[in-house]
A and B are shown apart, each in its own frame.
Chain A
């Protein structure tokens, strides 16, 4: 999430030539900002730095684009001339990944078929091709997996010195680093997220999580001074489809570091990186049963969390299902942590560094197609700069490249599933119906696959569904405020409380706002930053418990008296 798409300032918005879904006059944007110099050295901003008219001596500019019919993005040069600008395709190779025709469940160190013998197809959302068929776990498989985890906990893992657990986790971190390209390609094929994000964010962060928690395994007495930290036992972990391997790492690394064993259910649309992780466990010589991976439907997930052999439940996903899980373990001793939905406010004050803020807003909502629980889906702009900011944001949106996730230039890839695409489409339609103003850049979408244009709504009221409900897609709702108090009021006016963003040059205001945000993570002059040392989790209906940091260990230990 570090480098967002390269800004091509002054680019003419393609929709001006294509359709009528813009809400500003077409002539408002043409060539007007050519005085802004391109950002030369990073290879992003391209064009004559002195503003002289072309022709550009840039060889790539002549390469035929992937979508020949697409209206070319242009580079305004200040004298009314425009030079077509396109990126050459830069597809990542699939060769590093071998996807088998069938995958089983990973239980007790072995790959086994589901007791029912059933499988389910796994689809590449960018092409709609079936990648493979995966064993469909059920209650019987869950029972076997929990027993295996229990046995491994009692006989091996729970009694292993922290130093040895640490070394296993260091091994896993190293293996993930060594096989990073393979994981990145597989993750992108399975999720639809851009290869640049899986390569630069998901996989390195997943490895870093194992690395960080590896070091804690033999240092628990320093995380809980004066207390004896003991593992809980068997952890049932259910993870979502937006960051499959990263969420796996967030769950498994602290659990194993503290001495627990796990049964993990990956999301049914994205099981592949978890199954490849099973291979990493084998390569690391992890004792059988310490990690069990059981793909299956939601009903299987419910059987898992309700299993009497489970001591701890960790769930990341929707608030609705999270509430069901909390009800499901009511009346038991099971320990629960929930990381649920969000509707984060990204608050921009009039003294904010606007260039950075624009990038932060784009990163905040269009990173991973907006399929991020902490996405900055509500933009709160101070009224005095709202027009300018929205205008510049639209310019910026026109440069976002939507398409083939395997292309290294792609900014926004495919929506993870047909069902999710339908949900986004429905909520966007609701936004229009309720009277908000829609803006979408007129980019071409691939003919196959589940794609959705980056979307921006202005004239949004707090009562609109698009301002209240988690869309989990590339849809930004813009609201305005006048005073810091009003910003606080509006930002907190949601049942969620996962994250918030604050953009201002005034340090004291950042801290004043921070204290008032009812959200678990507050980003100041940045957004969507993650680190294994930094705790993550929500207030209110965004869940409870924290993942990452020392606080992340709390969720996986029972504290006893040292005596």
Chain B
């Protein structure tokens, strides 16, 4: 209670197909700050919620992939615009969730915003950097263009709940993929607020779906889901890693993996050089090569 007024607390929900459902299972779990203070109940998504999210992402994929590159760039830039207006809220939540100082929390928010801008700028450039015209030794015009792979599961970094998530999510969606995000399990709340920003932005419903819950429950199901084309395994707990990659192999999922040498908790998400990488976009692109004859 502040100033004699009873505050209205927020219900943290899932974000699926542009709507905010609770888990169909009716379950939740207690989220605590680093010092053990209970912060809120988060929805504990079920396997059914996850399948719903994959279906929503699949449905949203054709339209999102068909948008012009410039349009996708503008849509992602708009996320940055809207986050800018919620800097204080994000900073407060990061302080509570991650135990950051006020300055560190603000820096993480600012970098998250700038990261959207950086990846937004790639929308209409990635094919210019990765695409090629191939001088084949025959009268053919031969070119290669990148295309999005489809639905990508994003297992968000566990410790950096906002900046880490944005740094892995933006490269997935900028090129036209749609995403199913499994948030940080212990620090899920900033991701839910991000979902609220997404819902009021121009990102179409279903392009980004956000699930909170227990990674041990959700990740193996996502990894084994046959309608998921790619998996960003950055935030997969070390003990699940091999099993997840084996499950992903069944439907030949493309993987965006954290190098073994990189410890999840030690990674510096504030380092632009380490986190602004076109190859993170390329991880979930298919290369299409076209042959066309030349002749009068």
Q: Could you say which residues of chain A place their CB within 8 Å of the CB of B122? A: 215, 219
Q: B69's closest neighbor in chain A, by CB?
A: A533
Contact present for A166 and B293 (CB under 8 Å): no
Q: B294's closest neighbor in chain A, by CB?
A: A511
Contact present for B294 and A508 (CB under 8 Å): yes
Please report whether the interface of chain B is mostly helix, strand, loop or mixed according to DSSP.
helix
Cβ of B292 < 8 Å from any Cβ of A?
yes
Contact present for B292 and A216 (CB under 8 Å): no
- Chain A 491-510 residues near chain B, CB threshold 8 A: 507-509
Q: Could you say which residues of chain A place their CB within 8 Å of the CB of B296? A: 484-485, 508-509, 512-513
Stretch at the interface among A103-111, A206-214, A327-335: A206-214
Given contacts A211-B74, A212-B70, A508-B292, contact A166 B125 (CB under 8 A): no
Q: Could you say which residues of chain A place their CB within 8 Å of the CB of B69? A: 533
Cβ of A203 < 8 Å from any Cβ of B?
no
Q: Could you say which residues of chain B place their CB within 8 Å of the CB of A509? A: 295-296
Cβ of B114 < 8 Å from any Cβ of A?
yes
Q: Could you say which residues of chain B place their CB within 8 Å of the CB of A163? A: 114, 117-118, 272
Mask for A213-224, Cβ within 8 A of B = 1, else 0? 011101100110
Cβ of A515 < 8 Å from any Cβ of B?
yes
In the assembled complex, the CB of A534 is this many whole angstroms from the nearest CB of chain B, namely 10
Q: How many residues of A contact B (CB 8 A)?
A: 27
Contact present for A214 and B124 (CB under 8 Å): no
Please report whether the interface of chain A is mostly helix, strand, loop or mixed according to DSSP.
helix
Q: Could you say which residues of chain B place their CB within 8 Å of the CB of A216? A: 121, 125
In the assembled complex, the CB of A55 is this many whole angstroms from the nearest CB of chain B, namely 44
Contact present for B293 and A533 (CB under 8 Å): no
Q: Which of A211, A507, A513 contacts B292 (CB 8 A)?
A: A507
Q: Could you say which residues of chain A place their CB within 8 Å of the CB of B272? A: 163
Q: A485's closest neighbor in chain B, by CB?
A: B296
Q: Could you say which residues of chain B place their CB within 8 Å of the CB of A218? A: 118, 121
Q: How large is the interface on B (under 10, 10 to 19, 20 to 34, 35 or more residues)?
A: 20 to 34
Cβ of B19 < 8 Å from any Cβ of A?
no
* Docked pose: A422 CA to B275 CA in angstroms: 59
Q: Could you say which residues of chain A place their CB within 8 Å of the CB of B128? A: 533, 549-550
In the assembled complex, the CB of B183 is this many whole angstroms from the nearest CB of chain A, namely 27
Contact present for B70 and A208 (CB under 8 Å): yes
* Docked pose: A427 CA to B129 CA in angstroms: 45
Contact present for A219 and B121 (CB under 8 Å): yes
Cβ of A170 < 8 Å from any Cβ of B?
yes
Mask for A334-347, Cβ within 8 A of B = 1, else 0? 00000000000000
- Chain A 505-532 residues near chain B, CB threshold 8 A: 507-509, 511-513, 515, 532
Cβ of B73 < 8 Å from any Cβ of A?
yes
Cβ of B120 < 8 Å from any Cβ of A?
yes
In the assembled complex, the CB of A130 is this many whole angstroms from the nearest CB of chain B, namely 39
Q: Could you say which residues of chain B place their CB within 8 Å of the CB of A214? A: 121
Cβ of A465 < 8 Å from any Cβ of B?
no
A and B contact pairs by CB, cutoff 8 A, 6 listed = A216-B121, A218-B121, A219-B122, A484-B296, A512-B294, A513-B296
Task: Known pairs A163-B272, A211-B73, A511-B141; list 15 more (Cβ under 8 Å).
Answer: A166-B117, A166-B118, A166-B121, A167-B114, A211-B70, A215-B120, A215-B123, A215-B124, A222-B129, A485-B296, A507-B293, A511-B293, A512-B294, A512-B295, A550-B128
Which residues does A use to contact B, with CB under 8 Å? Answer: 163, 166-167, 170, 208, 211-212, 214-216, 218-219, 222-223, 484-485, 507-509, 511-513, 515, 532-533, 549-550
